[in-house]
Structure 1
Amino acid sequence: MGNQCPLNAGNTSRTEFNSDWLFALTDDDKASGENFDDSGWRHLSLPHDWAIEGDFSEKNPSGTAGGALPGGTGWYRKHFSLNPGNDRIYIDFDGAYMNTSVYINGQYLGTRPYGYASFSYDITPYIKVSGDNVLAVKIDNSEQPNSRWYSGCGIYRNVWMRRLNPVHIPLWGQFVKASVAGDSGNLEIATELSNLSSGDVRVQVYSVLTDPSGQMAGKSKPSIVTVKSGERKTVVNSDIRISNPELWSTESPKLYTLMTYVQEPGNGRMLDAYETLTGFRTLGFDAKKGFSLNGKPMKINGVCLHHDAGALGAVVNRRAIERQLEIMKEMGVNAIRCSHNPPAPELLDLCDSMGLMVMDEAFDMWR
């Protein structure tokens, strides 16, 4: 995938954190320590699913519904050097199955029980400026069965590092609402700002909209606000209005790119940039006429699509997901129901760009 943020939204400074991990199938909690001896562990790159590497057996407690593959407990460790300077350093997990506990240099950061939820930690306070830093991750999928489908085991989605100015747009810190009226399109933009510096700051926030061909379609008026130290403040930008927007549809999925910039007023020094992909379309639901997209009646031809990729297991592989969706489109499918959990960001990105509507579920079973 390269060093890029997922297409749906994110700070443009985000980079992959997938290479050079160590792994062992063990339940030794001493593996959380920074001085733990992991010299004999297996080297691998993420994403990774250890269950698909196991042996199929009717004796595995996951049962046939869970793929008859093993669960268990595993640890991942990654050594890295980093000088954060004045930046804030975040580690983002798109998903890990399940009961995921994270440590940095022996410091416990937290546990995410649900295996399909994305989560993030600020590791700045615990980083050693010189020398070896160790990120340790425990995955506990030993309580089986816990699903009626194949879940996989491990850090099966991508991991990212964000290096941000103390004044920045936090993760998932922007909400964009697109609407269409007649031959006009309108974007309502709400952007959250976080100030983790030691003093109050004045910043200028504005957004630039680019059309599907890469040409600038519109720009918001700049907003100058003061964000107090330790404060999170939401800035509602002036709307961006455009004429004759290219509409997103299942046949022609036109996407616009919104770039939001946070600058110091006066000198124009850039503090952060945040990218969100969006589109213009209208949805209609009528008791007599049914569903319509952009004013045209449409039957929703949907499928339930689980997150695994057969023999590849639960590992997120962008091309494998794209291939699945290509096959779905060839079948006449125009909508995907995520069965039965929040999907990987890559699936949502691809559905946006390939012309598929999505029913994004939370969960239907979780033990």
Structure 2
Amino acid sequence: MRFLLVFFCCLELVAFSSEAQPKAKSAETRQLLNFDKDWKFILNPDEAKIKSQPESLSWRSLNLPHDWSIEGSYSETNGDWQSGYLPAGIGYYQKKFNITDEQLEKQVSIVFDGVYLNSEVWLNGHFLGKRPNGYIGFTYNLNKYLKKGENEITVKVDHSKPLSGRWYTGSGIYRHVWLKVTDPVYVNDRDLQIQSDVDEKNAKVSINLNILSEQAKATSSTLKIDILNPEGKIVKSTTNNISLKSGQNSQNYVFDIISAKLWSIEHPYLYKVKFSISTKGKVVDEYSLNFGIRKIEFSGEWGFKLNGENTKIKGVCLHQDAGLFGVAVPDEVLFGRLKQLKFMGTNAIRTSHHPFPPEFFNMCDSLGMMVMDEAFDGWEVAKAADDYGNYFDEWWKQDLTDLVLRDRNHPSVIMWSIGNEVRKPTVETQTKLIDLIHQLDPGRPVTQGGVDPTRGMKGDEAITNLDVKGFNGDGEEIGVYEKYHNAFPNVPMIGTEVPHTYQTRGVYRTKTNWRRRDFPAPWEINSKQAGKMGGLAEKVFPIEDLSKEEVFPEEQTTKYYNDFKFIDIPNFQPWSGNLFYQSSYDNATVRSSARKAWQHTLELPYVIGQFRWTAYDYLGETNQWPSRMANFGVIDICGFPKDHYYLYQSLWTDKPMVHMLPHWTHPGKEGVVIPMVVYTNCDEVNLHLNGKDLGTKPYLGEQLVWDIPYQPGELVVTGFKGGKLVAKEIVKTAGKPAKIQISTTEKSMTADGKDVLLCEITITDEQGVPVPQASPLLSFKISGSGKIKGTDNGDPLDLTDYTSSKRRAFKSKCLVVIQSTEELGNIVLEASGEALPTTSLKIEVK
């Protein structure tokens, strides 16, 4: 995959491995074989024929990962506003594969990184097991039913009850699948634990491992352990003769690392530990794992320290879907998103609200991105009718154990979260979750987002059982942090979901909009709170209007787009016109502006930091039909940054920057005063319009605002530090739409059938200036060694199928994703539109 946005190229970062484990060097040691290719799939089949007459069914050939819901069409009859109006159902997957005589003598397992949801698996007609959780991976040993030659895996995915989440969940085998082959004597990577104790410059590394022997008799073997630095040089090594009984064999080793290199946000230094087991002079198993050495500390007085340095968490909450990919997100797309967030200044991710794929943690390790690893959304009581709460009692211990054992060796993971705004929680359940994590991983704290049952679900009457107290929306309210800290000064605190601000790319309103009053959420409408602030007015941080009268009254939503036509939205309430699009000024929110929430966090040393809701727009949790997504992201669903992206850059980074908003193309508003806002981290900023100096303003932590009577032309903003020019941005008035611009960072792809290229489409005038309000219907055509994977534009009210080769531009932009085939050659992408000349892009596939 090639990354769309130019600033991805500005970051030189350590490469990551998308595999859960490295591949073995020879057939004599373990193999981890990618099992994604050449599956068959059928949706909603006659299930009686799956076993009796599978050949009579209309199977479709595909490669994994696969999300069938994202391939469907939006309909008000599909699910609800939470799940996102895309189809669910029951899907079957089958794959034939061959096993050799040599492999039959090994231990063979199949590893699923994630199947949504209620999966059942058979090998050669024999049932292997069922897992209801759609987010945690699982493994089945195949030896009992494996045979030489052709074998067949069948997987049933039951998502027939679509109300299974409070967001878009997707459907299918949407993560990687692996075939794992080991000798009967092997390192059990599931039980491996690496811990480090840092003392100034030196570290003590403890390694606890379990060697499994599937042989009936005791075996004499040799275990060699090497610790290597990133250059491959061995820094510590030990070789030991060991006697292995049948079953589990625990081994414990301690290594002193002198002048250890520490893993940090700026320098994510990774060591590698390599295990080698030999029997009778022959290497029978090799396994290696990256790990980092770092020290984390938490305090109710001073917050959080990483390697002894006080550090504020600049975090974002992240859902796992990625627009037109659904939840079957290519590794490189996920990696690109994390790099984009890193460039914004983000240093931490909250995995909202479930386990993320294994490769995510490898990426975060390599990027220096910290992680709050979240296990569950709710507990015993379902929050959506058909969600995991229906299975919690039976499966919580298995699933939580699998999560902690899988992720505890990643240096990026700094804390665990056991829930989010849990419905009807109990102290008993919270306690058993905390206790299990402390047993499996005593070195990290446990937190929880929102409702904390040890406080009676409101107020501050009792101290929390949690190691770190988490605050969701109430953390945005005046005095909440201070009141809790005064009552319990020894408890560390963090904003697990702070703040909740909204914005739609390219939309601006100068009057402050509060959600409850101006664009209420479905639950606020249902509870009769909508249209007024009620008791919230005294709790929120005030946001001044940018003008007395609304400058952009035309920014009202009255229609949505589907089947290539506009359809009226019934408007029955005073807030209806504001409901689906929100302002890109920092003035559309629940309780606080983004900048005020961060200022408040900085003012309080005992608040560890915050995780804003959210990083990207995400599918589901909509403002009811016909909206398809939530507008919380600082980046839209296509990956196009909104103005909030640059707001956070100004707050979270040191590299000098300036950013102006809104655009400067407002035909018909000549002479109307436009509030021009500048975000910066410079000492002072100067603004010019058409060569006229509009003045210089010092940056004192607040956004800078110039009220400018509109006239077409050129705005130039310059930023200064220490009197020196260090940053500059130019915004020009656009003419009429005249060209289609296609932007990518690469002109070649890999002929592997899975490489994807993101193409940013922009409507410009004759001079190449983007036309902010341009929204022509565009058609895309491809020839050669590729296909159109999908299209999107970031518009919450555009319900066009993602697989369509036609797409309207939204606020001048849309996205086309190309996927390569396995054939060498070229791809030509053509883009054409209403009264616009055809544009083409040639891509080499090699």
Deviations 1:194-242 (A, max 9, x none): 11123221222231111122211111342512222xx112111x31222
Further displaced range: 94-103 or 161-170: 161-170
> Could you tell me which residue of structure 2 aligns to residue 233 of structure 1?
249
Q: Counterparts of 1:246-325 in structure 2 under 5 Å?
A: 246-264=261-279, 267-325=280-338
CA 155–320 in structure 1, closer or farther in 2 if over 3 Å, else same: same
> Could you tell me which residue of structure 2 aligns to residue 242 of structure 1?
257
Residue 28 of structure 1 deviates from its aligned partner by 3.7
SS at match of 1:349: helix
**Partner amino acid, structure 1, of 2:195:** K
Residue 8 of structure 1 deviates from its aligned partner by 5.8
* 2:357 corresponds to which of 312, 335, 344: 344
Say which one has the larger Rg: 2
CA 298–8 in structure 1, closer or farther in 2 if over 3 Å, else same: farther
Contact 1:104 1:133 in 2 (8 A): yes
> Could you tell me which residue of structure 2 aligns to residue 66 of structure 1?
83
Residue 284 of structure 1 deviates from its aligned partner by 1.4
Residue 298 of structure 1 deviates from its aligned partner by 0.6
2:212 aligned with 1:199: no
Contact 2:268 2:368 in 1 (8 A): yes
Distance in 2 (alpha carbons) for counterparts of 1:198 and 1:35:
41
Residue 163 of structure 1 deviates from its aligned partner by 1.0
Distance in 2 (alpha carbons) for counterparts of 1:315 and 1:214:
34
Contact 2:265 2:367 in 1 (8 A): yes
**Partner amino acid, structure 1, of 2:371:** V
Deviations 1:162-205 (A, max 9, x none): 11111112341311112211221221111111111232212222
Instruction: Structure 2: give runs of 5+ residues left out of the alignment.
Output: 2-15, 25-30, 379-387, 390-846
Further displaced range: 135-144 or 38-47: 38-47
> Could you tell me which residue of structure 2 aligns to residue 150 of structure 1?
168
Distance in 2 (alpha carbons) for counterparts of 1:5 and 1:87:
25
Further displaced range: 22-31 or 192-201: 22-31
Contact 1:165 1:272 in 2 (8 A): yes
> Could you tell me which residue of structure 1 aligns to residue 126 of structure 2?
107
Distance in 2 (alpha carbons) for counterparts of 1:28 and 1:101:
17
Structure in which a larger fraction of residues adopt helix = 2
Residue 79 of structure 1 deviates from its aligned partner by 0.8
SS at match of 1:163: strand
> Could you tell me which residue of structure 2 aligns to residue 215 of structure 1?
233
Further displaced range: 196-205 or 246-255: 196-205
**Partner amino acid, structure 2, of 1:257:** K
Distance in 2 (alpha carbons) for counterparts of 1:256 and 1:215:
10
Residue 251 of structure 1 deviates from its aligned partner by 0.8
Of all paired residues, the percent bearing the same amino acid is 35
2:202 aligned with 1:187: no
SS at match of 2:144: helix
SS at match of 1:330: helix
Contact 1:9 1:172 in 2 (8 A): no
Distance in 1 (alpha carbons) for counterparts of 2:109 and 2:77:
41
> Could you tell me which residue of structure 2 aligns to residue 40 of structure 1?
58
Contact 2:23 2:33 in 1 (8 A): no
Backbone CA RMSD of aligned residues: 2.0
SS at match of 1:325: helix
**Partner amino acid, structure 2, of 1:116:** Y
Deviations 1:71-109 (A, max 9, x none): 110000001111223111100000100000000000000
CA 210–77 in structure 1, closer or farther in 2 if over 3 Å, else same: same
**Partner amino acid, structure 2, of 1:246:** K
TM-score by length of 2: 0.41
> Could you tell me which residue of structure 1 aligns to residue 367 of structure 2?
354
SS at match of 2:262: coil
Residue 133 of structure 1 deviates from its aligned partner by 1.0
* 2:41 corresponds to which of 23, 35, 41: 23
CA 8–126 in structure 1, closer or farther in 2 if over 3 Å, else same: closer
Residue 258 of structure 1 deviates from its aligned partner by 0.7
How many pairs are equivalent?
Answer: 358
Q: Which has the higher contact order (CA 8 A, sep 6+)?
A: 1
Distance in 2 (alpha carbons) for counterparts of 1:91 and 1:293:
38
2:146 aligned with 1:127: yes
Distance in 2 (alpha carbons) for counterparts of 1:193 and 1:112:
26
